[in-house]
Amino acid sequence: MTFPNFDLKPPVRILARGGVLSTLTGMSPYFESYLTVGAFAVLGAILVMVMLGIAAVLRPTNPTTTKMLTYECGVDPVGSGWSQSYVRYYVFGLLFVIFDVEAVFIFPWAIVLDELGTFGLVEMSIFIGILILGLVYAIRKGVLRWE
Amino acid sequence: MSAFLSDLFANFWVSLAGKLLLVALMIPLVGMVIGYAEMKLSAKMQARVGPYFAGGRWGWAQLIADGVKFFQKEDLIPEEADRPVFKIAPVLVLISTVALLVVIPFGPGIIFRDLSVGVFYALAISSLSTVGILMAGWSSGNKYSLMGGLRAAGQLIAYELPLVLAVIGSVMLAGTMSMSGIVEAQIEAGYPYLIIQFVGFGIFMVAALAELSRIPFDMPIAESELVMGYLTEYSGFRFLFFFLAEFANMFTLSAIAVTLFLGGYWLPGIPEDVLAYAGPVIVLAKTFLLVFAMIWFRWTFPRFREDQLQSLAWKWLIPLALANIIITGAFKVYL
């Protein structure tokens, strides 16, 4: 028995200009990948809608003023729910952006490291070293200190 | 029959429909299995009995009963809430959960879609749920939810980085970002990357726990101080979606760890043609082992304090992960 093949390598036709097209759908495997991902994302949304739809038939709907209040340990909420709060996390947001961009740079480097050899390793060490310096600066500056 | 099946699944549209159906069944099933395991194991670890009556024996139908119950619950949206955002938040969280499953290899050639940027895709998609959680916290119009949402955002972005940096070691060793490519590289190397990447694996698991907001990293939903944080105002099925997403994400993040560090569908000594059939079983066994560890941690460790949690990520995990990258790079270049 052959195992049902989940189109890991679908039948393809090589085009003259070097592209590849699936012989079955006339789309490139690249586009098919996007389509699959898109279909999965849509499925996520549909799952929510279908289940909420079923629930809408079964559940009671009887809103009262008290029920529609936000929860605040049983007493009536004081002031607005969007009260002012100290967003100490914005600094982390800034740090995150820097390091996330760094990660984006490291991934392609990680793949071609074999060809780059020592040169690539030294370059990346310098890059990471500079970023660690930045992190040390932020920590010394007291970003992580909670008073 | 099998040739017919092969032909049928070679058609892109048929196979896509089949995959979507499979995932639509898989997510609730995985959620129920892990939810039940969590209930029973928690009970065991606290010397309780746990679910007992539903279904007649061992309370096996408890989660089904809970699901039916949730269907009948009134769907309350507070007067103060930002309604559209409040409604979209669980959708975003579930989308990220479903889309994450695309790149997990369950056997040789058994994968929903082998993307060439698989690892990168998985990490990018998993951070989509951060947005959903922040939206949920913000839109509820509740002070606890706002605090919980902000904490969640702070925590999830802090631990996103170790998570991303920890997997680079495996990518480096395999020389590819494709998930099944990484498993094949491990088969070729003859050992799971855990042996070299034990630091990466450790960081990945810690960061995954934090990404899931599970104890000891459950500051965003801390029941005792924030009354479930961003979940406070959710009720009925909308509430359930967040839980479904948490349980399913436990499964997917563990499966990603299995793929990157534990050899995926491969076990030493099993011939290639057997792997095609045993693959999914091996992946599930390894994955549930990690899920078990996550549940175990929940009843072992106390909760972190918010500042400890941030310094663990920024002062320890990120520098450690960066050092791991350099050391792995040296290993790769010179050995």
Q: Does B235 touch chain A (CB under 8 A)?
A: no
Spatial contact of B307 and A146, defined as CB atoms under 8 Å apart? yes
What pLDDT, on a 0 to 100 scale, did the predictor assign at position A21? 59
Phi, psi of B173 (to 5 degrees): -65, -40
User: pLDDT tens digit string along B119-169?
Assistant: 888 888 888 888 888 888 888 878 788 888 888 888 888 888 888 888 888
CATH class, range A85-147: mainly alpha
Mean of all residue pLDDT scores within chain B = 84
Q: Does A73 touch chain B (CB under 8 A)?
A: yes
C-alpha span between B110 and B103 (Å, rounded): 10
Closest-CA residue of chain B to A26? B12
What pLDDT, on a 0 to 100 scale, did the predictor assign at position A25? 60
What pLDDT, on a 0 to 100 scale, did the predictor assign at position A147? 65
C-alpha span between B114 and B166 (Å, rounded): 21
pLDDT at B319 > cutoff 60: yes
State the average pLDDT over residues B72-94: 84
Could you list the beta-strand ranges (E) of chain B.
Answer: none
Q: Given an 8 Å threshold on Cβ–Cβ distance, is B12 in contact with A113?
A: no
List B residues 89-148 in contact with A (Cβ-Cβ < 8 A).
Answer: 90-91, 94-99, 101-102, 109-116, 119-121, 140-147
State the average pLDDT over residues B277-291: 88
pLDDT at A2 > cutoff 60: no
What pLDDT, on a 0 to 100 scale, did the predictor assign at position A26? 63
Contacts of B154 (CB under 8 A, 6+ apart): A88, A89, A92, B310
Phi, psi of A20 (to 5 degrees): -130, 135
Question: How many Å lie between the alpha carbon of B318 and the closest alpha carbon of chain A?
Answer: 9
A5: confidence class by pLDDT, cuts 50, 70, 90: very low
Q: Of A11-25, A82-96, B75-89, B205-219, which gets the smallest average pLDDT?
A: A11-25
Instruction: Render the burial of B278-303: b for 16+ CB within 10 Å, e for the rest.
Output: bbeebbbebbbebbeebbebbeeeee
Q: Is B334 helix (H, G, I), strand (E, B) or coil?
A: helix
- Listed by start position, the domains of chain B span 1-72, 76-334
Token representation of residue A60: 């009671």
Spatial contact of B140 and B151, defined as CB atoms under 8 Å apart? no
Token representation of residue A19: 């592209």
pLDDT at A7 > cutoff 60: no
Chain B residues inside the 8 Å CB shell of A143:
314
Q: Give the residue ranges of DSSP H helices in chain A.
A: 29-58, 90-111, 113-140
What pLDDT, on a 0 to 100 scale, did the predictor assign at position A6? 46
Percentage of residues in chain A having pLDDT higher than 90 = 1
Mean of all residue pLDDT scores within chain A = 76
ipTM above 0.85, yes or no: no
Token representation of residue B111: 């994968």
What pLDDT, on a 0 to 100 scale, did the predictor assign at position A1? 40
Closest-CA residue of chain A to B309? A144
| Rounded (5°) CA angle B49-B55-B57 | 50
pLDDT at A17 > cutoff 60: no
What pLDDT, on a 0 to 100 scale, did the predictor assign at position A4? 45
C-alpha span between B229 and B146 (Å, rounded): 7
Q: Where along chain A do the CATH 1.20.58.1610 domains lie?
A: 85-147
C-alpha span between B283 and B238 (Å, rounded): 30
Token representation of residue B104: 């997990």
pLDDT at B194 > cutoff 60: yes
On the 0-12 / 13-18 / 19+ scale of CB atoms within 10 A, A130 is exposed
Contacts of B158 (CB under 8 A, 6+ apart): A92, A96, B210, B309, B310, B313, B314
pLDDT at B306 > cutoff 50: yes
B254: confidence class by pLDDT, cuts 50, 70, 90: very high
Spatial contact of B120 and B135, defined as CB atoms under 8 Å apart? no
Chain B residues inside the 8 Å CB shell of A83:
143, 146
On the 0-12 / 13-18 / 19+ scale of CB atoms within 10 A, B23 is buried
What pLDDT, on a 0 to 100 scale, did the predictor assign at position B204? 92
Q: Which of B163, B167, B162 is nearest to B178 (CA)?
A: B167
What pLDDT, on a 0 to 100 scale, did the predictor assign at position B203? 92
List B residues 137-176 in contact with A (Cβ-Cβ < 8 A).
Answer: 140-147, 150-151, 153-154, 157-158, 160-161, 164-165, 168, 171-172, 175-176
